[in-house]
Each structure stands twice: as C-alpha cells, then as structure tokens.
C-alpha cells in the first residue's frame, strides 16, 4: 500500500523510515494531489500550531478533513492527535479537524524538560511491552462514546482508536519498534476486507 506521511512539519522522516521498514511504500505528502493518491496517512509529532497554519496556507486542511471523514485510515502521533481532536482544553482557540471524539490538553505531561519513556503493555502486541517516548506529549482529557482505548499510562488513555483512526499521545516513530505501525496496517487490511464483504452482501 501507498502510506502517506503528512510532510508539513515534525517527525516526517521517522514515519517514512518505519513504513519502509515494514514493507510498504512511504509517500511524502505535501500537497492535495499527493494526499488524494495515498491509501492511508500517518500524521507525525511536531508543533501542532505550526502544522495547522501551514496546512491551511498550502490549501490542504479542508481536503485532509474531507478524506478522513470519508474513511481514509490515519495513524496520528502526538501533535497529529491534537490536530484530529475535538478540541484543546488549555488552548480553546486552537483550530482542530474535529474528526476524533477526544479532547486534549497540550503539553499535558509537561514541557521538553519533562520528557520521559514508559513501558506500555498491550494484549494485541504480545507479552513484550512497547517502550513509549513522551515528548511535550498531549494528555487525553476526555474520550467520547465509541472511541476504543488501546493503551493507558497511569490510568490515562494514551492510545485510542475509532473506526479508521488511530492516535497516540507518544512517539512510536522515534523508536525502532514498528509493531504499532504494523498493527495500523493490519487494521487497514481488516477494514478493507469488511468493506468488500459488505459489498458482496448487498
């Protein structure tokens, strides 16, 4: 599959590397035609305010929202999750795409100096924990109905999924552990299979 990485600002190269390592074609997405050509999209960590301004300046913002609403599979990390959210509790004026029913607290785990790593245990990844990197990480403030929590840290959701969207507070792209990227790709395959089955049943 052609897996796009939203290449406006942030950890772009790291997501491109991860997608390539798991055997799919990584595509640097910097314009609308490229966005419209990919089968799925990774939205990297970075600076969410800068990303929003650049996405609007380059004319990508509205098309991005339309594609996600239409079912484009998305894996968003850190700032990417902020962009998808319903809103930001401590920055209510910040514009978001409002496609994932969670609200966010920016820098909810502290500033750069408070960055940390933690082991997350997830049943679907087996017995080996995932070493999660939190850098100026957003904290999930509330989770809407229908949003599945895939992982918690100290009782707070840090990895969630709703339909074709998966979002993390942390930075899996900064590790050499590609299991979450693989899990995302496998989820896309399941969605595609379900869609084919529905068509056959009609």
Q: What pTM, to 2 d.p., does this model score? A: 0.91
Average pLDDT over residues 97-108: 94
pLDDT, position 202? 55
pLDDT at 191 over 80: no
pLDDT, position 10? 86
pLDDT at 46 over 90: no
Q: pLDDT-derived band of residue 116, with 50, 70 and 90 as boundaries?
A: very high
Please indicate whether residue 171 is annotated as part of the active site: yes
pLDDT, position 125? 85
**How is domain 2-201 classified at the architecture level of CATH?**
3-Layer(aba) Sandwich (3.40)
Which residue is catalytic, options 15, 105, 162, 173? 173
Q: What is the pLDDT of residues 147-168, one digit of tens each?
A: 999 999 999 999 999 999 999 9
Please indicate whether residue 89 is annotated as part of the active site: no
Share of the chain above pLDDT 90, in %: 76
Which residue is catalytic, options 14, 15, 24, 78? 78
Please indicate whether residue 24 is annotated as part of the active site: no
DSSP letter string, the chain: -EEEEE-SSSSHHHHHHHHHHTTSEEEEE-SHHHHHH-SEEEE--S-HHHHHHHHHHTT-HHHHHHHHHTT--EEEETHHHHHHEEEETT-TT------EEEEEETTTT-SGGG-EEEEE--GGG-SSPEEEEESS--EEEEE-TTPEEEEEETTEEEEEEETTEEEESS-GGGSS--HHHHHHHHHHHHHHHHHHHHHHH-
Q: What is the pLDDT of residues 172-181, one digit of tens each?
A: 999 999 999 9
Which residue is catalytic, options 15, 24, 162, 171? 171
Average pLDDT over residues 38-64: 94
């Amino acid at each position: 599959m052609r897996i796009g990485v939203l290449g406006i600002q942030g950890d772009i190269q790291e997501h491109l590397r991860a997608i390539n390592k798991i055997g799919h074609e990584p595509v640097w997405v910097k314009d609308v035609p490229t966005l419209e050509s990919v089968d799925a999209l990774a939205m990297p960590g970075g600076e969410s305010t800068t990303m929003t301004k650049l996405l609007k300046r380059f004319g990508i913002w509205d098309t991005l929202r339309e594609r996600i609403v239409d079912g484009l599979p998305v894996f968003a990390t850190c700032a990417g999750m902020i962009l998808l959210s319903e809103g930001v509790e401590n920055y209510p004026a910040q514009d978001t795409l409002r496609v994932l029913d969670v609200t966010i607290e920016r820098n909810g785990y502290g500033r750069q100096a408070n960055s940390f790593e933690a082991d997350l245990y997830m049943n679907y990844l087996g017995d080996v924990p995932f070493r999660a990197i939190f850098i100026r990480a957003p904290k999930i403030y509330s989770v809407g109905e229908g949003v599945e929590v895939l992982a918690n840290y100290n009782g707070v959701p840090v990895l969630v999924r709703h339909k074709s969207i998966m979002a993390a507070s942390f930075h899996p792209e900064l590790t050499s552990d590609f299991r979450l990227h693989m899990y995302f790709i496998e989820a896309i395959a399941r969605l595609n299979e379900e869609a084919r089955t529905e068509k056959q049943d009609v």
